[in-house]
Amino acid sequence: MRDTHLPPEVILDLALELVDIAAKKLAPPPIKRFALGLGAARWRNVSSKERSEVLRRAAQARWAKYRKQKKAGS
Helix (H, G, I), strand (E, B) or coil at 24: helix
Mean pLDDT of the chain: 76
Q: How confident is the model at residue 57 (pLDDT cuts 50, 70, 90)?
A: confident
Q: In the chain, what is the straight-line distance between the N-terminal and C-terminal CA atoms, in Å? A: 65
Q: What share of the chain is helix, strand, coil (3-state, %, to 5)?
A: 80, 0, 20
Taking only the tens place, the pLDDT of each residue in 5-29 is 777 888 888 888 888 888 777 766 6
Q: To the nearest 10°, report the CA torsion of 28, 32, 34, 38.
A: -120
If pLDDT is split at 50, 70 and 90, which confidence band does 73 have? low
Q: Rounded distance, CA 34 to CA 30, Å?
A: 6
Write down how long the chain is: 74
